[in-house]
Structure 1
Amino acid sequence: MLNRGFSRWIIAAPMVLLAIATIYPLLFTLNVSQKTRQEYVLDRFGLTDTVGLDNFQAAWQGSGLGTYAVNSTIVTVGAVAALLVLGSMAGFAFSQLTFRGSNFMFLIVLSALLIPFQVIMVPFFRVLGTTGLLDTHLGLILAYTAQFLPFTVYLMTSYYSRIPHEIVEAARVDGSTTLGVYARLMLPLGRPALLSVGILNALFCWNDVLISLLVMQSQDNRTLMVGVTALRGQYSDNIPLFAAGVILAALPMLIIYLIFQKQITEGVTAGSTKG
């Protein structure tokens, strides 16, 4: 009994430390965002004496975060929609349909997961420049779709592989076409995985800085995270204002993750085992 309790502590202690290391920066940033500039200079790590929304209001109105948030919303919604449609179709094809070269094509998709964006950054930039998609919402949507599609296909293929082939064959016997099986059967059955992968991709797109900074070159087309990064230079002498901007940028995705964290976990782990 004693050994069992000790073993639990051995496992729990690192998890507690990891949780503290994750939560503390958020609490520290929130605390700094409540301070005045003078209060921060005099005491950076102490608890704030004031609580209010002045810094948040100043960061939102004085630095164009509202425009950046609209850009991020457009790009994130467009990219996630494309990823869910293409990823679910490919997952259905790789897991339930039999065609020549399917295994080889799936290996190519998996190999794309191993290629960091920095490796393809230069040819990627040239292709967007040649096609006239630089500094456009469509260009960034296509960039996110290409970057995160391998992960989406892998997750959806793993999930759909758990569905017995007999169900698909029964739908075909009833007269459903391949597209009908996908729309009427696979999409409803894949709802948990679609929800989880959609939220994960939304987090990836919303929090991205590198790809957005490369594609969106004009200030008016910046996404929210790029705009917040620019705040560090704009308000280098007013760190509380910068901290308020960071909180505003992270808040939407943080709320979504807290609401759907159970569904995300269930959707991701559902495809990890078969049977």
Structure 2
Amino acid sequence: MAIRNRREKWLLRAASVPMALLALSCIYPVFFTVNNALKTNNGYILDRFGVVDAPSLENFFAAWTRSRLGEYLLNSVTVTAGAVALLLLTSSMAGFALAMLRFPYRRALFIVILASLMIPVQVVLVPFYRTMLALDLINTRIGLIIAYTAFFLPFCVYLMTAFYSRLPRELVEAARMDGASLLQIWWNVMLPMGKPALLTLGILNTLYCWNDVLISLLVLQKERTVMVGIAALRGEYTTNVPLLCAGIALAAAPIIAIYIFFQRQIVDGIAVGAVKG
């Protein structure tokens, strides 16, 4: 037993080295961004990787006003909230139907949804843009909400189907015997029981929608979102790196706070999709 305990201790110590390096590779970019955001442009040029000796918040105020981050932040909040709400509504209904109901071609439909996860976004950008033009949804927030819903819905349906498949089917049968309709079963039974998966999907979709640049750049070409607006801080020939770092820090701060606060729910929710119902 003593030899076994020693081996386990050495294995844990050996595994801690690459894990520490991985954690450092994730933490250092955040430190580098915040550290340089507190420098002046001259201070950055003289010492790019040194710790700031006279921190200043001037770059944060300049980034907020120069790149119109306040207006872009409102766009991001509106679009993200609308897309997440629509994704949760549609995916919970679809997951309930695919997991609990029996109808023709149910499995074939689920396979098609899974197959759509393998299609890269870049492959469908041209037909996607032409469709948005034909529907007159370019430069509209509702157009970006629909676009996010279309691109992120397959994963949400898969996760909700996997979660609902773990629940006993007798719940639906008992509710039907009591005279409840399918809509009442979904609202009063399945939706409350699916709160853990829905919370996880809400967090993940918030991360995806907030950090997206490609789809937002195609749809909102005038009223941009905050991540696209950060590009306005880059110069044509030279870039004020501390100013750019300040804008990146302001744009990423809300989403980092959400991730830190809900990190346990994110890990638990990802594990839901790995369980076979």
Q: TM-score, normalised by structure 2?
A: 0.95
Q: 2:239 — aligned with what?
A: 237
Structure 2 CA distance for partners of 1:178 and 1:247, relative to 1, 3 Å:
same
SS in 1 for 2:191: helix
Q: In the TM superposition, what whole-angstrom CA distance separates every residue of 1:208-247 from its partner, at most 9, and x where no partner exists? A: 00111111112xx101000112322369431101100000
1:250-261, aligned counterparts within 5 Å? 250-261=252-263
Residue 133 (structure 1) shift: 0.5
Task: Give the conservation status (yes or no) of the 8 Å contact 1:34–1:55.
Answer: yes
How far apart, in 2, do the equivalents of 1:143 and 1:270 lie? 26
User: Equivalent residue for 2:175?
Assistant: 171
Instruction: Pick from 195, 205, 209 the counterpart of residue 213 of structure 2.
Output: 209
- 2:110 maps to 106
Deviations 1:58-83 (A, max 9, x none): 10012201111111111101110110
Aligned to 1:262: 264
Q: Which amino acid aligns with 1:260?
A: F
Question: Is 2:159–2:272's contact at 8 Å kept on the other side of the alignment?
Answer: no
Partner residue in 2 for 1:36: 40
Structure-2 separation of matches of 1:239 and 1:9: 39
One-letter code of the match for 2:113?
V
CA contact (8 A) 1:162 1:271 kept: no
User: 241, 247, 250: which is aligned to 1:248?
Assistant: 250
Conserved 8 A contact 1:158-1:271? yes
**Structure 2 partner of 1:119:** 123
The residue number in structure 2 matching 1:67 is: 71
Deviation at 1:8, TM superposition (A): 1.8
Aligned partner of 2:226 in structure 1 is: 224
Superposition map of 1:15-164 within 5 A: 15-164=19-168
**Deviation of the 1:164 alpha carbon:** 0.6
In the alignment, the residues of structure 1 paired with residue 184 and residue 237 of structure 2 have an alpha-carbon distance, to the nearest angstrom, of 55
Structure-1 residue corresponding to 2:275: 273
Letter in 2 for 1:62: R
How many residues are treated as equivalent by the alignment? 273
What is the Cα deviation at residue 251 of structure 1? 0.5
What residue ranges of structure 1 are gaps of 5+ in the alignment? none
Partners of 1:189 and 1:233 lie apart in 2 by 51
Contact 1:235 1:242 in 2 (8 A): no
Q: Is the 8 A contact 1:55 1:240 kept in 2?
A: yes
> Is contact 1:235–1:241 with CA below 8 Å preserved after alignment?
no
TM-score relative to the length of structure 1? 0.96
Aligned to 1:115, the other structure's residue is in SS state coil
Could you give the per-residue CA deviations for residues 112-169 of structure 1, whole angstroms, max 9, x where no partner exists?
A: 1000110000000000001100111011111100000001001111111111101121
Give me the whole-angstrom Cα distance separating, in 1, the residues matched to 2:10 and 2:232: 48
Distance, in Å, in 2 between the alignment partners of 1:242 and 1:110 is 39
Name stretches of at least 5 consecutive residues in structure 2 with no aligned partner. none
Whether the aligned pair in 1 keeps the contact of 2:212 and 2:227 (CA below 8 Å) is yes
Structure-2 change in CA distance of 1:234 and 1:255 (3 Å): farther
Q: Cα offset for 1:269?
A: 1.6
